[in-house]
Amino acid sequence: MIRALFSASDAAWPEYLEAMPPAFHAAGLRVDLSRDHAPDIVDYIIAAPNGPVQDFSPYTRCKAVLNLWAGVEDIAPNKTLTQPLARMVDTGLTDGMVEWVTGHVMRHHLGFDDHINGQDGIWRETYPPLAQDRPITILGLGALGAACARLLTTLGFPVTGWSRSQKTINNVTCLSGEGGLRTALTDAQIVVLLLPLTDATKNILNAETLPLLANGAFIINPGRGPLIDDDALINALKTNIAHATLDVFRVEPLPNNHPFWAHPQITVTPHIASATRPKTASQCIAENIRRGEAGEPFLHLVDRTKGY
């Protein structure tokens, strides 16, 4: 019998208690899933970064820590976590992000706000451009960025993506490295941030890079708040940036007196772009436990030197 410890919030437990056993069964695993196994009998920890286990050192026989979130910036630096750490890649999480990003891209692309907020009796016949004339750049071409890029190309948008290592994705102009970043941002009309938060990505949109975007550009950030320098963004909203839709922030929940809430060119959404879905996430976790038991390499391992 494999013993798995569930270390996440009280609220998450009932859904996972229902979703995990069928996934373990389908993977041919017999797993005793509990919230209070003694540390020295635990084979795997299924963990949220804000879960009750913060000191991983007593879990001496634990073969892997399986993160419930895609982002690992709050768990990867934990010095007591010496076991392999896998991040969450969940089809439900990916689908949710693709839907959210596409929805917000279409809002800005089609200019919905003009009509929703402009019911003033004046007949203004301005047509939105076609998708083919609206270049979009996606920073980060991982599980989420690549899925968004693929969907947006099917709608006709010219999509450029940027990542650390060079990628090849059908109909997407893939760039990498420092020079690639400048090219990716120059004249982009919509920029979507789907990078992890690391030392290398912090403030990647800043006073030097924001002016590269096209006049009237839109920014959509479901990645992490510190990817954008907040002050530089506020300044850029006075020049070339028309609007920023932000789902993530340096401090969450965003304090209710924060200037972003009332800024007419900022839309705040409360870190809801996408969520791990217990049913599909359980399949990702079960597959990694199956691999661990079969002596196969774990999927989606975090590279601690890169920070994601």
User: Is-catalytic flag, 224?
Assistant: yes
Among 138, 144, 191, 286, binds ligand NAP (CB under 6 A): 144
Contact (Cβ atoms closer than 8 angstroms) between residue 235 and residue 211: no
Closest CA to 138 of 163, 102, 106: 163
Helix extents (H) in 86-193: 91-110, 112-116, 143-154, 177-185
**Distance in Å, CB of 235 to ligand NAP, minimum:** 24
Would you count residue 196 as binding ligand NAP (CB under 6 A)? yes
Please check whether residue 69 is in contact with residue 88, taking contact to mean a CB–CB distance below 8 angstroms. yes
271 flagged as catalytic: yes
Q: Compute the least distance from the CB of residue 67 to ligand NAP, in Å.
A: 11
The nearest distance, CB 95 to ligand NAP, in angstroms, is 12
- Name which position in 224, 233, 266, 287 contacts ligand NAP (CB under 6 A): 224
Interface with ligand NAP, residue 271, by CB under 6 A? yes
In 168-240, where does DSSP find H-type helix?
177-185, 230-236
Give the strands of the sheet with 136-139, arranged side by side.
172-176, 159-163, 136-139, 190-193, 217-221, 241-246, 266-268
182 touches ligand NAP (CB under 6 A): no
* Residue closer to ligand NAP, measured from CB, 59 or 249: 249
* Interaction site with ligand NAP (CB under 6 A): 70-71, 93, 140-145, 163-165, 194-198, 200-201, 222-224, 247-248, 271, 273-274, 308
Q: Report, as residue numbers or ranges, the catalytic residues.
A: 224, 271
